[in-house]
Amino acid sequence: MNQPKDAALNFDEIVALYSEKLYWHIRKIVLLHDDAHDVLQNTFLKAWKGLNKFKGNASVYTWLYRIATNEAITFFNKKKKQNSVSLTTYEDFLSKTLEGDAYFDGDKMQLKLQQAILQLPEKQRVVFNMRYFEEVKYKAMSEILGTSEGALKASYHHAVKKIEKLLLLQEI
């Protein structure tokens, strides 16, 4: 697909502006550095191929985050299916892998939080990460995820309660 030269320049600026934010957003879904890097590349590839379809109805931020979120969730589910394991087993694998991940620089409490987040259902995990870590407003999250603000608020509330419960159980 040939894009005009000025579109490439603008796209380079978009990549420079959003790469780090998107990487960390994706990383919170797939957890592993190499996987997050692969998904980020797929996100920008998909965005580049769809650049001529971008009509500007949403902000570039919303558009990219929607692509990144969908790519990360698809990747996560495909990886789970490839390994032919249950979600619980795959989450256990990710939890243990996170403990030895050279790119994870959190303390023990951060590790416990990440392990608790892994136990959330997929949608609650995504909503929690976007709201808690990235401080995405519900309105923007609604556009990114295609869900009502009320449903997102409920998902976040339920996620917080589950995490609190899981963290309290871990301290026993």
The residue ranges of every structural domain in the chain are 1-85, 106-172
Digit-coded pLDDT (tens) for 91-104? 566 555 655 555 54
Task: Return the CATH architecture of domain 106-172.
Answer: Orthogonal Bundle (1.10)
Over residues 112-120, mean pLDDT: 84
Q: What is the pLDDT of residue 28?
A: 87
- Tell which residue, 97, 102, 69, 62, has the closest CA to residue 83: 97
Digit-coded pLDDT (tens) for 15-32? 999 999 999 999 988 888
Tokens coding 9: 């320049």
CATH code of the domain made up of 1-85: 1.10.1740.10
